[in-house]
Structure 1
C-alpha cells in the first residue's frame, strides 16, 4: 500500500482521526493523531515529537540522556504499508511510524530503524528473516478496587473457550479486518489466561503485528468491560505470560539459495541445518545480554523461573520447552517450509523491534563466526546439578533487569548493532525504570505493570 492508497481509503471510510503510532524504549505504544483532513500533508512530512520521548520510560518518567530534553524534535513519519482501520474505536485509522530527524534522516534512537538496519545487514548476505509470536495474556475484570481473572478456567479447557467466546470472536474479527492471519487459539495455564498465535511475516511486519495484536486485544476487551493484560507476571501466584518468538531464515530471491529455508537440512536431527546450529550458537553466546531486549521490564524476571516453561537457562533442545531455544518438531510432508526456532525468554514488555533486531544481530554473529552451540538438552536443565550445567556450558539467565542490562553493556556485538544513540537511550531508560521500582514490593511491581502492558 502506498500513501495515495491510504488517502483513498481514509476518504472512502470517512475516517476522522489517524493515529501515528510507534513503540518506545519503554516497550509502550505511543502516538499522536492527525485529523483526516490534514493527512494528505502529514503522511509525507510527519508529525513533530520532542526528542525527550526517546528517553521516556515505562514508568512515565524522563531518563537523563544528553540531547534528549526540552530542546529539539524528531518526526513521526508513517509507513503507508502499515495502515489499518481500527474496529474497536469509532472512525479511526492507524499508521506505524519511523522516527526521522529534522534533516530527513533516520533518527539514531528509533527502535524500528534499528530493525530495518538489521534487515539490511541480512539482505547484504542474501538472507531474510521471518517471525511470528505466540501472544499470552490474561482477561481481567475489576472487583472491589482490584483486578482479578475474568474466569477460573483450566489449561486448554473448553470451559475457558466458552467463558470468553464472545470477546474472543470479536478479537479475531478485529484482527482479520486488519489483515492479520490467525493460526491457533487456546486457553492457557492460568485462570482466564489466553494464547493466540498468528501467521509469520517478514521481520518488520512481524514486529508491527506484535504491536497491532496487543493494541487490538486490549481495545476490543475494553468494549466488553474487561482489561487484557500482557504483563509478564500480572498475578504473582499464577503462570506468567510470554511472547515466544518463532523465527526462520530464508535465502533471498537473488541469493545462491533463492527462497530456501536456510534452517532446513533433510538428513539432520530435527531437519536442523548447520546454519541453524550456528544461529543458535550466536543467540546463546549473547542470550544473557539479549534478555535485556526480549524481557525488558522489572516484572519480567518474576516469570523467568526454573520449571515454569519460560526458560531460566541458556540451553537449547528439540521440543524442550524449558530451554531458552526450542527447535519445534515439524508436520509431516511440510518439513522444508516449517523448520524454525523459538526463543521462549521473550515477553510483551520487550520492544519487538529491539527484540527481533537483537535476535538477528546475535544470530548473524553466530553464522559469521561459526559459533557452535552447546549440546542439545533432552532434559529440563533445571533438573541438572550446578556441576552438570557448568560441564555442559549451560548458564543461568539473569534474574533481574539490572543484571541483564549489565550484560548488555558488556556485549560489544549487540551494543555496536544498536548504535551509540539507541544503546545509550535504551540503557538509560531501563536503568531509570529499575531505580523507580527498586523500593517496590513484588506485588506493587506487578500492579504497576498490570495495566501498562
Structure 2
C-alpha cells in the first residue's frame, strides 16, 4: 500500500487536477517519513552488537551495521584497545601496574554460537565476543578463554562437567528530582515475597521473562526480595559455559527492559549501606555422561554427596579466601559479606543459609543432595573469571582428595570459626600468597586482576561515596 501511495503522489498531475497543492506536499512528506522508517528497519542499517565483559565485570558493546558485520566483522572481528579490558569500576582508565595501557590493540571476535535476536529491539542482533591477539588466536587476557581452559582441564582429567544455575538479585530504581538534582530511589518498599509489589513490577518482569525465553534462557521463578525494590530471578541450570553466557544476556535484558519502562535496574552488591545487599548466587553440580555425580548413588553417604562431590566442595572451601577477588571484586562487595547477613565465615552446611556454601536437595528423598549453592558471587563479578576460579579450586580438591569438614547446621559459635576476608585488601592478600591459580588463570591475567583490585581500593578510599555511581555501571 505504501508503495502504491508513494507512486500515486509522484505521478500526480498537479497542474491539471483541482486539489490543494499544499495538501499533496504534506502527503508526500508523510510518505517519505514512512519510507525512512522502512530504511531504518532494513538490514543495511540494523545493527549487530558485539558484547564482552571486561576484567572489572562491566559489559561493553560495539554496534556494527548488519551488512558490514556479516561481510567483514563476522570473520575478522573488530579492533579493541588494550586499555578497554583493564578499566576500573569507576574510571574509564587503566589500572596502574596492570601491564596494559594505551598502546596496543586486541581483536574482539564474535562467537557466532551465541548470536541472538534482541527481543526488545527486534531489528538488531547481539553476540558475545572473545578477545583475540589476531583472528583465530586467543589472547591470554581473555576471560572466556581462561574459563574454557579450566573446564577443559576438568573434562580431560576427570571426565566431568559442571552445571550451573544463577539466582540473580537486583534493585529496580525510579528517578526523582531533589533540590534540582536527579536521584534514583527504590521502586517499591514492600516486604519479602509481597504479591502486590510483584503486581506493580509484573509488566517489566513479564517482558523480561518473555525476552529470556525467546533467547533460549529458562526462567524457573521470580519473587520480591527482602530489600526495598529488590527482586530475584532464578535461571535454570545448564552446562556452566552456557550458564555464564546466559547470565550476561540476562543482565542485558533486565537493564534494557527496565530502561524501556523508565526505571533503572542495578545488580551492585550494595545499593544503600542501610539495606540488604544483592548477590548472584550460583548452584553447582558435577555431571558425567549425562548423570549427576555430585549426588551420592545411594543413601549410605554421610551427607548425601558422592566422594567426587565432597572433594570438589572441599577444594572450593579450602581456597575460598583467594577466590573472593574473582567473585566479590569491589570494596563494596564486602559490605554485603558481613556477619549481619551471611557468608562471612569459612564453613558449609546442609540447607544452612548462613554458610557461603550450602548443599541443596530440592524435593529429593533419602537425604540425597543434588547441588550446592555458592553464595559469595555478586553482580559485579566477571562471570567467566568467577566460575573459572571456583571450578579451578574444585579441581584442586579432586586432585588432592581433600576432605570436607563437618557441616555446621546450627547457629555457629563464631569464636571457633575462621573469618573470611573482611575487605578486598584482605582477599587480594590471600590471592597474592598463593600460586595455585597460575596454572588455571595465568600469571599475566592474575597480575591484571590484582592491579585492578588495588586501583579500586585506592579510588574508593579517596571517595567513600563513589559506589553510589555504580548503579549506572552494573
- TM norm. shorter chain > 0.5: yes
Match of 1:273 in 2: 306
Give, in angstroms, the shift of residue 74 of structure 1.
0.9
Between the aligned partners of 1:244 and 1:136, the Cα distance in structure 2 is 8
The answer on whether the counterparts of 2:204 and 2:257 sit within 8 Å (CA) in structure 1 is: yes
Give, in angstroms, the shift of residue 333 of structure 1.
6.3
Give, in angstroms, the shift of residue 14 of structure 1.
7.8
Give, in angstroms, the shift of residue 433 of structure 1.
1.4
Which of 229, 238, 248 is the equivalent residue of 1:201? 238
Match of 1:46 in 2: 77
Match of 2:294 in 1: 263
Give, in angstroms, the shift of residue 298 of structure 1.
1.4
Give, in angstroms, the shift of residue 416 of structure 1.
3.1
The answer on whether the counterparts of 1:264 and 1:272 sit within 8 Å (CA) in structure 2 is: yes
Q: 1:66 to 1:353 in 2, by over 3 A?
A: closer
The answer on whether the counterparts of 1:297 and 1:349 sit within 8 Å (CA) in structure 2 is: yes
Q: 1:81 to 1:346 in 2, by over 3 A?
A: same
Which of 50, 59, 65 is the equivalent residue of 1:20? 50
Match of 1:392 in 2: none
Between the aligned partners of 1:87 and 1:308, the Cα distance in structure 2 is 36
Match of 1:212 in 2: 249
Scaled by the length of structure 1, the TM-score of the pair is: 0.90
Q: 1:291 to 1:120 in 2, by over 3 A?
A: same
Which of 164, 171, 192 is the equivalent residue of 1:155? 192
Scaled by the length of structure 2, the TM-score of the pair is: 0.86
Match of 2:468 in 1: 447
Q: 1:446 to 1:56 in 2, by over 3 A?
A: closer
Between the aligned partners of 1:15 and 1:380, the Cα distance in structure 2 is 59
Once the two structures are superposed, the pairs formed by residues 173-192 of structure 1 within 5 Å of their partners are 173-192=210-229
Q: CA RMSD in A?
A: 1.9
Between the aligned partners of 1:334 and 1:191, the Cα distance in structure 2 is 38
Between the aligned partners of 2:353 and 2:67, the Cα distance in structure 1 is 51
Between the aligned partners of 1:342 and 1:39, the Cα distance in structure 2 is 40
Between the aligned partners of 1:433 and 1:333, the Cα distance in structure 2 is 46
Which of 366, 385, 389 is the equivalent residue of 1:354? 385
Match of 1:372 in 2: 403
Give the 4+ runs in structure 1 shifted more than 4 A.
11-15, 333-336
Once the two structures are superposed, the pairs formed by residues 311-330 of structure 1 within 5 Å of their partners are 311-330=343-362
1:86-139 CA distance string (max 9 Å, x none)? 122362211101111026321001111110001110110211111011000011
Give 3-state SS (helix, strand or coil) of 2:56's partner: coil
1:297 matched to 2:330? The reply is yes
Give 3-state SS (helix, strand or coil) of 2:406's partner: coil
Count of residue pairs brought into register by the alignment: 425
Q: Point out where structure 1 has 5 or more consecutive residues left out of the alignment.
A: 1-10, 252-257, 390-394
Between the aligned partners of 2:360 and 2:150, the Cα distance in structure 1 is 25
Match of 1:415 in 2: 438
Give 3-state SS (helix, strand or coil) of 1:81's partner: helix
